[in-house]
Structure 1
Amino acid sequence: MSSDLAESVRAAVAAVTDPELRRPIGELGMVRDVRVAGGAATVSISLTIVGCPAATRIEQDVRDAAASVPGIAGVTVDVGVMSPDERRALVERLRAGRPARTMPFGPDSLTRVVAVTSGKGGVGKSTVAANLAVALAQRGLAVGLIDADVHGFSIPGLLGLVDEHGRAAQPTRLDELILPPVAHGVKAISIGMFLRDGDGGAVAWRGPMLHRTVQQFLTDVHFGDLDVLLLDMPPGTGDVAISVGQLLPHADVVVVTTPQAAASDVAVRSGLVARQTGQRVVGVVENMAALALPDGTMLDLFGSGGGRDVAAALSTDDDQVPLLASIPLSATLRADGDAGAPVVVAHPDDPAARAMAVLAASLVSSGRGLAGRPLPFTPR
C-alpha cells in the first residue's frame, strides 16, 4: 500500500512545473526520492543551482502536490542542489541536441520572430512591444521578448521585473545557459538585468559590443520552445538594426509611429532599412492616436493620419503593408507602464488595452505559413 501511495505522490510531484524552465520537474530530473510511511510523505528534490530564485515556489508547489494525493496526511520536502554532472546532463537535455552557442531562431525555426521598430525615440515603441508580448501570451502563445534597445533599455520596468529600488531581476545562470525571468507569461531578457549598482544603469558601447550582446541574447538565453519571439529594437537604423538584419534576415517587422508627421516621416526609413536586409514589414502601429474626451469630442494631440501615411509609403504593388492598430493616447497606459503593470493586464477595458488586443489578433492572423519549411520531426 505504501509503495502504491509513494508512486502516486511521485507522479503528482513530477508534474510540478519549474517556473523558469516551464517544464515538469520530473522531466528535468529534479525529483530524487519519494518515501511514504504511515500516511506521511517525504519528498527529496534537487534544484538547479544554489540560491535558485524559484526555490520557495518550487518547494511549496511540491508540498501542495504531494498533499493533494488521497491518503497523505503530512509532507516533508527535502531540498538539495544538483551536482555538476546532473546540471550538465540537464543542460544537454534542454539543448535537445543543439550544439552550444548556436542560434535556434533561424529561417527553419517554427518560432516567428518579430522586430518592433521605430524611426525615432519617444513614440512608445517599448510600451507597445511589452504590451503586445503580454497580449500574445494571454492568447495562449509561448512568447519571448528581447530588449535589444541596449542604450535605452526599459522592458524590465515595463513588465514589473524590478525590485523596490528599481533594480532589474537577474536571470538564472545554468552553466553556460541563461534562463530569462518570466513576467505575465513572457520570458524576457535585457542588458539591464546584467548591470551592477556601480554601473549607474548606463551602457556606453559601440558597434562590436552591441552586435555581441544581441548575438548572445539569441544564442545563450534559453527561451525554450516559443511561438513568437519579439525584439524591442532601438530607434533608428543604427548598429543594432544592422546586426539584427544580419542575424535574423527572415524576421518580420512592425513599425511604430505617432500620428505626427515628424515621427511618421522618420518611421518610414526604419521600415525601408529592414526591407533592405531581407526582412518583411508586416504592418504599422500608430501610437498616441486621438483621445476621446468625456464630452465625446476627440483630441488629436499629435495630429492624425501618420500611421496610415507610413503604411502607404511602405506598401508596394506586390506587398501591401496594413495599419495593424491605432492606439489612443491614454493616461492609464502611461501610469501602468510606470508601475510595471502592462495595461492589458491591469486595465484590460481601457481603450489602449483594447487596441493592444486588436494588434495581437492582427499579428496572429498575419502569421508565417509553413509552406516550404522543413518540420522538426523524425518519421518512424
Structure 2
Amino acid sequence: MAAEVLPPVTNSDDRVLPPEYELNEPEPEHCPGPESEMAGKADACDGCANKEICESLPKGPDLDIPLITENLAGIKHKILVLSGKGGVGKSTFSTMLSWALSADEDLQVGAMDLDICGPSLPRMLGCSDELVHESNSGWTPVYVADNLAAMSIQFMLPDDDSAVIWRGSKKNQLIKKFLKDVDWDELDYLIVDTPPGTSDEHISINKFMGESGIDGALIVTTPQEVALLDVRKEIDFCKKAGINILGLVENMSGFVCPGCKGESQIFKATTGGGKALCEELDIRFLGSVPLDPRIGKCSDQGESFLDAYPESPASVAVLNVVESLRDAVGDI
C-alpha cells in the first residue's frame, strides 16, 4: 500500500479525535474528563450539555495502553524534557540534544514534539515544510537525517500560522496517536519535548507511557530565581508522578561573545542557580550551557549549532551534558 499523506489537522478532524469524543460544548470548570470513571457523575456534570455523551463512553482500563506499550517496545531510552517555566530554552535544548545524539551514526534517535499549541521542533530541526504519511505500518515520522526522526502536529497544520485551539480530551487523543500509531521502529533514544507547566500533556504522557517505561526527566532551567521557582514545582510534579529525575541543566548560564570568547553573566544567579538547587534537593547537576547568540540563528534556520560552531563553549557544554545524560541512563 502506498503511503498516504495525512490531511491538515483542523478542530473537527476525525483522524485525531474519534467522533464519539466530540463534545457539544467546552468542558466546564473542574470537568473530570470524558474518559474518567466520574464522567457524567461529578458535581461539574450537572447541567452540562456533554453529560449524556460522557456517560455513554466506555469506562474501565484504557485499551490503548497495551498498543502503546507494544509500539514503543523497540525504543531503548525514553527521556522527557521538562521545565516549569516557558522561555528557558527547553525546545532549543531538546533540539541540540537530538542533534548531539544523532551525531553518533550508530544511534537511532527520535524527537517527539508534545507542545501541541506551540510546536517548534520542526522549525529548529529544519523540516517544517515536510508532511506526515500514513501506510500499513502507521504514521511515518519525518526523517531529518538517516538516524534522526521527528514527529509534531506542525506537520499536519494547514499553514504555519494556524492556531491549535484544543481542550484536554482532544490533546490526549493526539498524544495517543503519536505513541501508538507512529512507526518509530527501533530507536536508541526518544526525546519528548513537552510544553511548560504540569498540566494535561505531562499527566497524559506519564500515564500513557507508564507501562512502556520512561527512563526519566531532564529538567531545564535558567539561573535566576524566577525560573527556579517554577522548576521547583516541576520537580515536585515528577516526584508525585513517580517520574525519575535524570538531572538538571542550567541553560543560558552566562553570555559568550562569539568574537572574543569572553563570558558575562546576563541572568545572575541570585540564589546560587541550578547547581545550588540540585545540591539542596539532591538532584544530579548535568552542567551549565552558556548563551551564544548564534544558537538562535541556527534554530531559526533549522541547522545544527553543534556542527556549525563546534568551537563554541556552548557546543562543548552541550556535549558534556549529553555525556552526563547517557551516564545517567546507563548508556555510556
Normalising by structure 2, what TM-score?
0.74
Distance 2:65 2:329 in 1: 29
> Are 2:286 and 2:324, in contact at CA under 8 Å, matched by a contact in 1?
yes
Q: Secondary structure at the match of 2:68?
A: coil
Give CA-to-partner distance per residue, 1:246-278, whole Å, 9 cap, x none.
Answer: 122342001000011100121121122122111
Give CA-to-partner distance per residue, 1:171-208, whole Å, 9 cap, x none.
Answer: 121146001011143110001111113x8321111111
> Are 1:343 and 1:350, in contact at CA under 8 Å, matched by a contact in 2?
no
Structure 2 residue aligned with 1:124: 89
Distance 2:157 2:281 in 1: 38
> Are 2:71 and 2:183, in contact at CA under 8 Å, matched by a contact in 1?
no
Structure 2: which amino acid aligns with 1:171?
V
Q: Secondary structure at the match of 2:251?
A: strand
Give CA-to-partner distance per residue, 1:284-311, whole Å, 9 cap, x none.
Answer: 0111011244667531101133211332
Structure 1: which amino acid aligns with 2:151?
I
Structure 2 residue aligned with 1:83: none
Aligned residues: 266
Give CA-to-partner distance per residue, 1:301-322, whole Å, 9 cap, x none.
Answer: 011332113323442xxxxx21
Distance 2:266 2:248 in 1: 19
Structure 1 residue aligned with 2:108: 142
> Are 1:106 and 1:248, in contact at CA under 8 Å, matched by a contact in 2?
no
- Equivalences for residues 26-175 of structure 1 within 5 A: 48-49=2-3, 102-104=67-69, 111-139=76-104, 140-162=106-128, 168-175=129-136
Structure 1: which amino acid aligns with 2:217?
V
- Equivalences for residues 234-249 of structure 1 within 5 A: 234-249=195-210
- Are 1:346 and 2:308 an aligned pair? yes
Structure 2: which amino acid aligns with 1:208?
S
- Equivalences for residues 170-319 of structure 1 within 5 A: 170-175=131-136, 177-184=138-145, 185-197=147-159, 200-249=161-210, 250-251=213-214, 252-293=216-257, 298-304=263-269, 305-315=272-282
- Judging changes above 3 Å, is the alpha-carbon distance between structure 1 residues 111 and 259 closer, same or farther for their aligned structure 2 residues? same
Q: Secondary structure at the match of 2:306?
A: helix
> Are 1:101 and 1:219, in contact at CA under 8 Å, matched by a contact in 2?
no
Q: CA deviation at 1:368?
A: 4.5
Distance 2:202 2:194 in 1: 7
Structure 1 residue aligned with 2:48: none
Bigger Rg, which one: 1
Unaligned runs of 5+ in 1: 1-46, 52-98, 163-167, 316-320, 370-380
Q: Secondary structure at the match of 1:120?
A: coil
Give CA-to-partner distance per residue, 1:135-160, whole Å, 9 cap, x none.
Answer: 11112321111100111110000000
Distance 1:346 1:172 in 2: 30
Alignment RMSD: 2.6
| Identity fraction in percent | 31
Distance 1:107 1:311 in 2: 31
Distance 2:65 2:246 in 1: 32
Q: Secondary structure at the match of 1:158?
A: helix
> Are 2:4 and 2:133, in contact at CA under 8 Å, matched by a contact in 1?
no
Q: 1:325 aligns with which of 253, 270, 287?
A: 287
- Judging changes above 3 Å, is the alpha-carbon distance between structure 1 residues 360 and 259 closer, same or farther for their aligned structure 2 residues? same
Q: CA deviation at 1:127?
A: 0.4
Normalising by structure 1, what TM-score?
0.65
Q: CA deviation at 1:50?
A: 7.4
Structure 2: which amino acid aligns with 1:235?
P
Structure 2: which amino acid aligns with 1:259?
P
Distance 2:330 2:75 in 1: 9
Larger RCO, structures 1/2 (Cα 8 Å, 6+ apart): 2
Distance 1:153 1:49 in 2: 24
Q: Secondary structure at the match of 1:275?
A: helix
